Chains A and B, each alone.
Chain A
Amino acid sequence: MPKGGNRIARLRESSILNRQSSIPMPWTRKHLLDLESLSKAEIVELLDTAASFKEVSGRSVKKVPALRGRVVVNLFFEASTRTSNSFALAAKRLSADTMSFSSSGSSVSKGETLIDTAKNIEAMGVDAFVIRHSAPGAPHFLARHTNCSVLNAGDGSHEHPTQGLLDIFTIREKLGKVAGLTVSILGDIRHSRVARSNAHGLRKLGARVILAGPPTLVPPAIGAALGVEVSHDIDAVVEQSDVLNCLRIQFERKAGRFFPGVREYAAIYGLTEERMKRAKAAAIIMHPGPINRGIELTPELADGPRSVILEQVSNGLAVRMAALYLCLGVRISQV
């Protein structure tokens, strides 16, 4: 029996995954590297699986045995709090064993290459790498050179697929659909992996996507590259949007070279209460965090009724459980 068939059979029987949908599309991927290469059906399957796992988080015993005996390693070469913890907790809720590895205090500081580092950890009997790295394509590179599942937790300014998925999950949950919505992503598009993953995923699900920010923070060819609209007029964008996803100005990537200053940025490109008066009644505000309060987003909005920022974080857990489950599940012949 093909592996996919086995897995679907298990899914049907599983009491954990009390899914509403009929037979899911068979997920055959071993890795989650980016949203650009996923089909609409694959994205929907990820979101539906995440919806099933979200129920688990509401129980008193928040744990299922799906990945018992599997080992998931967090390989974080860049600072992260919420993503690394979210992945670690997701793995634990699936009963996987977890290890974490960060570049400080590791052999990387002794000049070891990424391949050697990964192969050495793999030799301990590891099933999945969750990698965050400053180099675009580092997860793809790891996928080529090791036999483990690889999940991209952010590669430079390229993609951050689980963040894209959790944003889409949140939109779908709050607004009931994705197709036909206008979703605007505001701010430092140039340096944003979140913008790229969101744009690919949202487009595939039929949303209209606008990337908006200062011209210096929106690369000239990105509209054509991602098949989205580009704008530099925040007021016009606010009026049309169902979702406003504010990005963090990435000062650590020298974003300050691209605009005159924080005060000007907040005035011209920041999301403020005044500006939100033009917004649709049901429009929601999102932010992938961490927030530069008072720069891209005022504290009043971040904590206000339109904000779904903390729900994004909760949903992140369910999405990452789904991603780990699907990617690792492919290779499990029996539970």
Chain B
Amino acid sequence: MSILTLTHGRLFDPSRRLDRQADVLIDRAAGVIKAIGKNLKAPAGAEVLDCTDLLVCPGFLDIHVHFREPGYTSKETIATGSAAAVHGGFTTVVTQPNTDPPLDNASAIAYQYLQAQNAGMARVYPMGCITKGRAGEDLAELGLLARAGAVGFTDDGDCVRSSFLMRSALEYARSLGKVVVEHCEDHDLSNGAILHEGRVSAALGINGYPSAAEEIVVARDIRLAKLANARLHVQHISAKGSVALVREAKRRGVKVSTEVAPHHLLLTAECCRDFDANFKMNPPLREESDLEACLEGLADGSIDCFASDHAPHTTEEKSQEFIHAPNGVIGLETNIGVLLTHLVHKQRLSLKRFVEAWTSAAARIFDLPGGSLKVGGPADLTILDLDLRWQVDAARFRSKARNCPFAGWHLKGAPAYTIVGGRIFEAIGRTMRETGAPKPKAKAKARTR
């Protein structure tokens, strides 16, 4: 029996109210946790990973990533995306179905599972489309998608415009025990706009995307979820008003959950003043008050979890005129560092809530295994080095893409190791240290807050 022992680490699992020094014994063959406790006796020949001064957490889950396969493999593949995930400290990801062809049928779901297995790194759970071809007209084969392993349904990138269709999806998915996941955007009101409507859009002469375009659909879907008595998950929440709507709906007992991306907590529309497409995404970067509202929502539980909306694009695609470059930024390899630096270390969010929002709270939305450290449970762990100082260098990413809004940032805290089913992967906190972080030059232009 092959055993891995994690020694001297600080075990930290908010779902089990765990915060103490302890060792973890992992059965690598079975990929499960065998024992947790003080000074565990490791059998002879066991591999030991010294976790002194490190934080040993349940494996982190990023429930919103785009791995682009099939169809857009020049941006990312399931193999490169999985490599980026474990390098960034994530054991598990949920992929979006806006591939080409889209994941609107059972064999497409099976294909993603197969490619993830071939890659053999992170656990990859695909979502299926809500509508056939993501066209917003007819329901996709939700039952067959679920059978093939789709963990939820979304037309991410596009909103389900028809209220009738959205209601049908919610009712149908309820019987399957799956969640319907919405990209909330009133496309008629946003009118193809790519910049938050406000001072920056007015100054740059670019059509604005008002917060109301998000809030309208959040409000509609909450009503529909209540009507259908079904589970709704709101993707990438960005507007102050949306946070208030979700908070109020939860209070009334509607089964709604939501996620927020690091860029919507740390960056504002001001970042777009230089027309840099690495700050262009949908929903757009909004205002200071929206950042505050999202952070407040995260702290009080109105927002359930983090998710990066990791959206890789090629450098060529992003090196176009701002309005022509595609939407999206990558996040898997910076998620942990930027949030530790700017939320946890600055005491704006507790470490407990930070870890919970990447683990048990994220797992709960799709009923995924993991998110907790349990004897007999999967040996998925994320091991953090909270005090490591490093600088973001996109050239060192394992993702194929470089469209990172945090490039050059000086950070404190990084994932050191990612353990998936008992297999150890060195994360960015270790690969950086080995190759030697680049010497900090001038003070990085941290355009946060």
Q: Could you tell me the distance between the alpha carbons of A222 and B316 in the complex, rounded to whole angstroms?
A: 33
Report the nearest B residue to A160, measured CB to CB: B205
Which chain A residues border B324 with CB–CB below 8 Å?
135
Query: Are B204 and A158 within 8 A (Cβ)?
Result: yes
Of A36, A133, A226, the residue contacting B321 (CB under 8 A) is A133
Q: Could you tell me the distance between the alpha carbons of A221 and B274 in the complex, rounded to whole angstroms?
A: 19
Q: Could you tell me the distance between the alpha carbons of A221 and B204 in the complex, rounded to whole angstroms?
A: 11
Query: Are A135 and B205 within 8 A (Cβ)?
Result: no
Query: Are A137 and B322 within 8 A (Cβ)?
Result: yes
Of A114, A140, A156, A159, the residue contacting B320 (CB under 8 A) is A114
Of B195-203, B231-239, B432-440, the segment with at least 4 beta carbons within 8 Å of chain A is B195-203
- Produce 1/0 per residue, A223-248, CB < 8 A to B: 01110000000000000000000000
Of B198, B201, B319, B321, the residue contacting A137 (CB under 8 A) is B321
Query: Are B319 and A157 within 8 A (Cβ)?
Result: no
Residues of B with Cβ closer than 8 Å to A?
197-206, 208, 274-275, 316, 319-324
Report the nearest A residue to B320, measured CB to CB: A113
Which chain A residues border B206 with CB–CB below 8 Å?
136, 156-158
Which chain A residues border B316 with CB–CB below 8 Å?
113
**8 extra A-B contacts, CB within 8 A, seeds A222-B202, A225-B198:** A113-B319, A135-B322, A136-B204, A141-B275, A141-B321, A222-B203, A225-B199, A225-B202
Report the nearest B residue to A156, measured CB to CB: B205
Residues of A with Cβ closer than 8 Å to B?
36, 113-115, 133, 135-138, 140-141, 145, 155-159, 191-193, 196, 219-222, 224-226
Nearest CB of A to B369, in Å:
45
Query: Are B322 and A220 within 8 A (Cβ)?
Result: no
Nearest CB of A to B123, in Å:
38
Q: Which 6 pairs show the lowest CB-CB distances between chains A and B?
A: A137-B275, A157-B205, A135-B321, A158-B205, A225-B199, A222-B202
Q: Could you tell me the distance between the alpha carbons of A192 and B320 in the complex, rounded to whole angstroms?
A: 23
Known: A113-B320, A114-B320. A36 touches B203 (CB 8 A): yes
Query: Are A141 and B199 within 8 A (Cβ)?
Result: no
Which chain A residues border B274 with CB–CB below 8 Å?
137, 140
Of A113, A115, A156, A225, the residue contacting B203 (CB under 8 A) is A225
Which chain A residues border B198 with CB–CB below 8 Å?
221, 225
Query: Are A196 and B205 within 8 A (Cβ)?
Result: yes
Nearest CB of A to B190, in Å:
15
Q: Could you tell me the distance between the alpha carbons of A286 and B320 in the complex, rounded to whole angstroms?
A: 35
Nearest CB of B to A181, in Å:
23
Query: Are A220 and B321 within 8 A (Cβ)?
Result: no
Q: Could you tell me the distance between the alpha carbons of A319 and B199 in the complex, rounded to whole angstroms?
A: 29
Of A133, A155, A219, the residue contacting B202 (CB under 8 A) is A219
Known: A140-B274, A141-B275. A196 touches B321 (CB 8 A): no
Q: Could you tell me the distance between the alpha carbons of A157 and B203 in the complex, rounded to whole angstroms?
A: 9
Which chain A residues border B197 with CB–CB below 8 Å?
219-221
Nearest CB of A to B286, in Å:
12
Interchain pairs with CB closer than 8 A, number:
69
Nearest CB of A to B315, in Å:
11
Q: Could you tell me the distance between the alpha carbons of A192 and B275 in the complex, rounded to whole angstroms?
A: 18
Which chain B residues border A159 with CB–CB below 8 Å?
205
Query: Are B275 and A193 within 8 A (Cβ)?
Result: no
11 sample A-B contacts, Cβ–Cβ < 8 Å, listed by A number: A36-B203, A114-B321, A135-B321, A135-B322, A135-B324, A145-B319, A157-B206, A158-B204, A192-B205, A220-B202, A224-B199
Query: Are A225 and B323 within 8 A (Cβ)?
Result: no
Q: Could you tell me the distance between the alpha carbons of A192 and B274 in the complex, rounded to whole angstroms?
A: 19
Report the nearest B residue to A196, measured CB to CB: B205
Q: Could you tell me the distance between the alpha carbons of A191 and B202 in the complex, rounded to whole angstroms?
A: 10
Query: Are A219 and B321 within 8 A (Cβ)?
Result: no
Q: Could you tell me the distance between the alpha carbons of A90 and B205 in the complex, rounded to whole angstroms?
A: 27
Nearest CB of B to A209, in Å:
14
Which chain B residues border A222 with CB–CB below 8 Å?
202-203
Q: Could you tell me the distance between the alpha carbons of A191 and B319 in the complex, rounded to whole angstroms?
A: 25
Q: Could you tell me the distance between the alpha carbons of A137 and B201 in the complex, rounded to whole angstroms?
A: 12
Query: Are A138 and B321 within 8 A (Cβ)?
Result: yes
Known: A113-B320, A114-B321. A137 touches B202 (CB 8 A): no
Which chain A residues border B202 with CB–CB below 8 Å?
219-222, 224-226
Query: Are B321 and A221 within 8 A (Cβ)?
Result: no
Nearest CB of B to A116, in Å:
10
Q: Could you tell me the distance between the alpha carbons of A225 and B195 in the complex, rounded to whole angstroms?
A: 14
Report the nearest B residue to A218, measured CB to CB: B202
Query: Are A221 and B322 within 8 A (Cβ)?
Result: no
Q: Could you tell me the distance between the alpha carbons of A136 and B280 in the complex, rounded to whole angstroms?
A: 14
Which chain A residues border B208 with CB–CB below 8 Å?
219, 221
Q: Could you tell me the distance between the alpha carbons of A222 and B199 in the complex, rounded to whole angstroms?
A: 6
Which chain A residues border B204 with CB–CB below 8 Å?
136-137, 158
Q: Could you tell me the distance between the alpha carbons of A135 and B203 in the complex, rounded to whole angstroms?
A: 14
Query: Are A193 and B205 within 8 A (Cβ)?
Result: yes
Query: Are B319 and A115 within 8 A (Cβ)?
Result: yes
Interface centre among B197, B205, B275, B316 (most CB of A within 10 A): B205
Which chain B residues border A138 with CB–CB below 8 Å?
321
Which chain B residues border A114 with CB–CB below 8 Å?
320-321
Which chain A residues border B321 with CB–CB below 8 Å?
114, 133, 135, 137-138, 141
Nearest CB of A to B253, in Å:
36
Query: Are A219 and B201 within 8 A (Cβ)?
Result: yes
Which chain A residues border B323 with CB–CB below 8 Å?
135-137, 156
Nearest CB of A to B405, in Å:
17
Which chain A residues border B319 with CB–CB below 8 Å?
113, 115, 145
Nearest CB of B to A114, in Å:
6
Which chain B residues border A136 with CB–CB below 8 Å?
204-206, 275, 322-323
Report the nearest A residue to B319, measured CB to CB: A115
Report the nearest A residue to B274, measured CB to CB: A140
Nearest CB of B to A246, in Å:
19
Report the nearest A residue to B317, measured CB to CB: A113
Q: Could you tell me the distance between the alpha carbons of A5 and B79 in the complex, rounded to whole angstroms?
A: 58
Nearest CB of A to B289, in Å:
13
Nearest CB of B to A122, in Å:
16
Report the nearest B residue to A113, measured CB to CB: B320
